[in-house]
Amino acid sequence: MSTLEQWIHEQSATGRRFYLVLDSLGQQDERNTLVSELGAQRYRNLYIGTPAESLATNGPYLFELDSFDIPALRTLLSSPERNWGWLASAENTDLDVLSAHWRERLVTGERPHQAVYRFHDNRVLARALAYLQPEQRPEYLGSMASVCYWQVEQWTITDNPAPSQYPLPTDPAWCHTPMPEATFKGVQFDNTRRYLIREHTDNLLSLAQEQDIDTWLRGQFDLAHTWGWQEPDSIHFLLTQSLQAPDYAPPKSWLPQPNETPTMHFDRVYQETLYWQGDASV
């Protein structure tokens, strides 16, 4: 019996209900099938009612499962390397209670430096649970009693020692989870690629006719690193402006000048671009 099968068997024996946290992006066919199969009372779109609601079409869904004998679900379980999300079990907990818990943990930071916390990514969940002390898990997992997720080519199980409803801490411990540089770059690349596909489809299709998208994107990240542009706003600016350039690369006038710090460099280029574009947004 595999780790996943054993977990399902053990959780079933306790009478707990099963849940699926699914990242819609990349799994829309499976998501739509599950929505149709389970009905409106058995799922919630977790971006609805949050600052990320504009992204709800491709946001995470929480499903309450009454069976694992669903073709779309079997497809997901047979391909965990797609990093589509994770499974959980809980005592008789209302779906809205679980949804409210994760919606509270969706956005981190204070304006204007807020960011979406991708708890629905099994890699993010795995890193957080590996970092948290056992006594910190309840505030993170809430009413979920146990979770099963794909980590480093194997199914992994983590139990919640005290499942219940918990308010969001002022300074959540999981927000301090260290991320290896290679992992950070991988997640950044994947998330950025998804964003560009969703929000800049036409420009990206034009780019794809001339060069490999992934090679171009890696080159843009390398350029941002060379220039010391690390903030999300500066990287977004570089990518979107390069996508609109005739050769999909920033002009030579963007090269840093002698004794110019990364901040000075970005401010100069940004203001010059605003000037040449008039009042157009960038």
Taking only the tens place, the pLDDT of each residue in 245-255 is 989 999 999 99
19 sits in which H/E element: strand 17-23
pTM above 0.75, yes or no: no
161 burial (CB, 10 Å; 0-12 / 13-18 / 19+) is exposed
Number of domains forming the structure of the chain: 2
End position of a domain, from candidates 113, 142, 176: 176
Same domain, 98 and 218: no
Residue 282 lies in a domain: no
Q: Could you give the count of Cα atoms lying within 13 Å of 3 in the half-sphere of its Cβ?
A: 13
Residue 281 lies in a domain: no
Q: What is the pLDDT of residues 68-118, one digit of tens each?
A: 999 999 999 999 999 999 999 999 889 999 999 999 999 887 665 678 899
Q: How far apart are CA 260 and CA 65, in angstroms?
A: 56
